[in-house]
Chains A and B, each alone.
Chain A
Amino acid sequence: MGYFKDIFVGGLSLIEGMGVTVRRLFQPLVTVQYPRQKIPLSSAYRGHIELKVFEESGTHKCIVCLNCEKTCPSGVIRVQGEKQKEKGPKTLTNYVIDFSKCSLCGLCVEICPTSTLVYSKEYELVGETGADCQIDLMARLATQVEKTREEKKTQEIAA
């Protein structure tokens, strides 16, 4: 008797489980068809770091204090600066990060005294060689400045 009961109860449990999957069939799709379809990034998204372009000056505020370079656990950041005059602050000449070593902990962003380091929203970062992971933030800054200028222009035209 137990044998047939087992078959009956077992069969019922399988049908019940099938019911769940059948119900799912009529629910909306959850798959996002990346790359044709993209979802908005969270505002907290942590990409690689970049230099922030401040609106009032049109450039970054890096003072070459090297705090980011020293605080980085993995030696990702290389900053170089030069003194323009005999006395006075250094100006940034070179800012390169090796993204292949970065663990995205955010310590550099937190320690930056002038808040000029921010997270970029870049996430499509496929590279074929190690050299592709070397990101030159100064070169990036030039395109960023261009971009903000263009955005301003379109805004003005729209206004």
Chain B
Amino acid sequence: MDELEKIEADDRVYSLNLGPQHPSTHGVLRILLDLDGEYIVKCDPVIGYGHRGHEKMGENRQYKQFLPNTSRMDYLSGLLYNHGFVLAVEKLAGIKVPERAKYIRVIASELNRISSHLLWFGTYLLDIGGITPFLYAFDDREHILDTLDTITGSRLTYSYCRFGGVTRDIDSKFIDMTRAFLKRMESRWADYEALVSKNVIFIHRTRDVGVIDVNLARQYGVTGPNLRACGVAFDVRRSEPYEVYDRFDFEIPTGTRGDALDRYDVRFREMQQSCRIIEQALEQLPEGEFLTPKVPQKLSPPKGEVYTAFESARGLTAYYLVSDGSPAPYRCHIRVPSFGNLNVLNDVLPGTMVADAIAILGSIDVVIPEIDR
């Protein structure tokens, strides 16, 4: 009988329900914690409260009809999910995408990635007790939403991408707004660093807290900023470049310790790298069509299967589609990063304190509807 089992058998241990609702997750998550005093001995995330059957829905409708569903899985980076889905279908049906559309998608996706990280930045600090950065981050995020609003007409669930392009071309107003946003952020990074990154209380709450070991991360399939914080420079945009990501010069931020502070740091620098990508994409933006007119209204891809991975704001996300030649996919499977990212808590939380559990849970940045889907 090892130490943990001994404590478990002891009636000093009691269960605590963290959730079913928790502000950091914006979804419905319940974590069953077994506590020994202030210490966690066992952690068991309970998922499935937000199950809507998106995969099954995908198999019961035409390809294009599944588009609005995709942005409702990870609602914070809905555009990235749209993007990934059209990539998969385009690969399956062999649709060629105009160059301009590729650039527009990359610009919009990176803007969405920054907005997702900014929301995480604000809410994470809110979770661990800092209210001011939340207000600043949402102010910045509002600029992104306004910018995306001018081309997509929507603020959260964009449904912007189409097979063979995007719904609406970008104009000079959008480009000006994006440039203004990038310029604005230059001074904001310094503000955030002074306000948060250098803040001694924040550092003490996050340094060496919730350390994820590289091997543990690999076992659970942790991807995205959480994996990069462990020191593995894995990014789908670099390892398997889709669209035009191979044409941009950007770094992949990595951490060394794999703790909550590293995860914060990686996401923070990732936002700056996204700004760099947008800047380069705006410079290289070619003229031309934004939507190829050759795609039939009722798309029936040839028999076959396709697996397309892309980097969403939370990590490696992938669509696996099987076509039997009919207008609806035979199988539609979605690989979401948050599932692995959340379940690694099973091994990370035991041994830490309840107050740290909040700091760790927030730093993982999970979106529950994406897991439940």
Q: Considering the chains assembled together, what is the distance between the CA atoms of A82 and B187 in angstroms?
A: 62
Q: B200 touching A13 by the CB < 8 A rule?
A: yes
Q: A44 touching B68 by the CB < 8 A rule?
A: no
Q: Does A54 sit within 8 A of B, measured CB to CB? A: no
The interface stretch among B14-22, B145-153, B248-256 is B145-153
Q: A20-B191, A44-B168, A104-B157 are in contact. Are A10 and B67 (CB under 8 A)?
A: no
Q: Does B215 sit within 8 A of A, measured CB to CB? A: no
| Chain A: minimal CB distance from B45 (Å) | 29
Q: A104-B159, A105-B159 are in contact. Are A42 and B66 (CB under 8 A)?
A: no
Q: Considering the chains assembled together, what is the distance between the CA atoms of A50 and B297 in angstroms?
A: 22
Q: Considering the chains assembled together, what is the distance between the CA atoms of A7 and B350 in angstroms?
A: 31
Q: A71 touching B152 by the CB < 8 A rule?
A: no
The interface stretch among A85-93, A106-114, A138-146 is A106-114
Q: Does A61 sit within 8 A of B, measured CB to CB? A: no
Which chain B residues border A19 with CB–CB below 8 Å?
194
Kindly identify which residue among B61, B146, B150, B194 contacts A43, using a CB–CB cutoff of 8 Å: B150
Q: Considering the chains assembled together, what is the distance between the CA atoms of A17 and B70 in angstroms?
A: 39
Q: Does B289 sit within 8 A of A, measured CB to CB? A: no
Which chain B residues border A43 with CB–CB below 8 Å?
150
Q: Considering the chains assembled together, what is the distance between the CA atoms of A112 and B50 in angstroms?
A: 34
The residue on A at minimum CB distance from B162 is A110
Which chain B residues border A73 with CB–CB below 8 Å?
61, 65-66, 68-69
Which chain B residues border A103 with CB–CB below 8 Å?
68-69, 72, 157, 159
| Chain A: minimal CB distance from B159 (Å) | 4
Q: Does B346 sit within 8 A of A, measured CB to CB? A: no
Q: Does B326 sit within 8 A of A, measured CB to CB? A: no
Q: Does B199 sit within 8 A of A, measured CB to CB? A: yes
Q: B67 touching A105 by the CB < 8 A rule?
A: yes
- The dominant DSSP class at the B interface is helix
Kindly identify which residue among A13, A110, A111 contacts B199, using a CB–CB cutoff of 8 Å: A13
Q: Considering the chains assembled together, what is the distance between the CA atoms of A16 and B195 in angstroms?
A: 7
Kindly identify which residue among A6, A17, A71 contacts B194, using a CB–CB cutoff of 8 Å: A17
Interface residues of A in 100-135 (CB under 8 A from B): 103-107, 110-111, 119
> What band does the interface of chain B fall in when counting residues whose beta carbon is under 8 Å from A?
20 to 34
Q: B194 touching A20 by the CB < 8 A rule?
A: yes
- Interface flags, B183-196, vs A, CB<8A=1, else 0: 00000000100111
Interface residues of B in 161-181 (CB under 8 A from A): 162, 167-168
Q: A104 touching B68 by the CB < 8 A rule?
A: yes
Q: Does A24 sit within 8 A of B, measured CB to CB? A: yes
Q: A9 touching B200 by the CB < 8 A rule?
A: yes
Which chain A residues border B72 with CB–CB below 8 Å?
103
Q: Does A21 sit within 8 A of B, measured CB to CB? A: yes
Q: Considering the chains assembled together, what is the distance between the CA atoms of A42 and B152 in angstroms?
A: 9
Q: B139 touching A30 by the CB < 8 A rule?
A: yes
The residue on B at minimum CB distance from A46 is B153
Q: Does B284 sit within 8 A of A, measured CB to CB? A: no
Interface, chain B (partner A; CB < 8 A): 61-62, 64-69, 72, 132, 136, 139, 142, 146, 149-154, 157, 159, 162, 167-168, 191, 194-196, 198-201, 297
Give 25 A-B contacts (CB < 8 Å), ordered by A residue: A6-B200, A10-B200, A10-B201, A13-B199, A14-B201, A17-B195, A17-B196, A17-B199, A20-B191, A21-B132, A42-B149, A42-B150, A42-B153, A43-B150, A44-B150, A71-B64, A71-B65, A73-B61, A73-B68, A103-B157, A104-B68, A106-B159, A107-B65, A110-B162, A119-B153
Known: A45-B149, A46-B153. 5 other contacts (CB 8 A): A19-B194, A44-B152, A104-B157, A106-B167, A110-B162
